[in-house]
Structure 1
């Protein structure tokens, strides 16, 4: 029996998003800032890691589900899901640190863009064939 792939990555991303949300909430409490970032560097990093995740992950999961529903085999979906998760993790670790690692940030964005590109092209190809 084949299992759906997208719910696995949606669930993992959901848990990851909760962790990032809690980190942002805690940073907000430490900085005593209720709205915005109050020019607090740690809070700004936590908010941007959380926001960046929220900006890229939903579209990627919609693309993944679209391609899955169209009948693509599971292994490319797993590769895209792993790429998305590793990309978001690398990006979060990079930006979340005070000593920013630009290479890790670039690697995270490249993995995320790879997943979006492959899934977008697959969606277009499946839609027109």
Structure 2
């Protein structure tokens, strides 16, 4: 069975991961230089720490979102449900990363996390009900 929506989201997430990771490498190079400079950690730099956490949070949540979404799509979930969940996961990741990188207050990333948690409850509940039915 094809998983076009999950595949599309996986592709978008893969593309989003590149700038999140790349800006960490660029920042480390600026702080410590490429020859024996800062290769690990944040070196006490708050901006770099935020970049590391934006990337880390993405890596922590995106895989489970893709796995859960793929299972719903594979198990025959309605297209509107799968699209809604995919949209929620994408919006949540964008809001969280944007909030982490470009604002000093937790409001935007908090909205992103709230959207994500609601989507996880929906997808988790749907999967459990499918098995229990």
Contiguous gaps of at least 5 residues in structure 2: 33-37
Cα drift, residue 101 of structure 1? 2.8
Q: 1:127 maps to which residue?
A: 131
Q: 1:116 maps to which residue?
A: 120
Cα drift, residue 93 of structure 1? 1.0
Q: 1:92 maps to which residue?
A: 97
Contiguous gaps of at least 5 residues in structure 1: none
Cα drift, residue 3 of structure 1? 6.4
**Runs of 4+ off more than 2 Å:** none
TM-score normalized with structure 1 length:
0.92
Q: 1:21 maps to which residue?
A: 21
The within-5 A match list for 1:62-77 is 62-77=67-82
TM-score normalized with structure 2 length:
0.89
Aligned residue pairs total: 127
- Aligned equivalents of 1:114, 1:25: Cα separation in 2: 33
- 1:56 corresponds to 2:100: no
Quote the RMSD (CA, aligned, Å).
1.4
Of residues 99, 103, 107, the one that matches 2:107 is 103
Corresponding residue SS for 2:4 = coil
- Aligned equivalents of 1:83, 1:93: Cα separation in 2: 15
Instruction: Work out which of the two has the higher radius of gyration on C-alpha atoms and give 1 or 2.
Output: 2
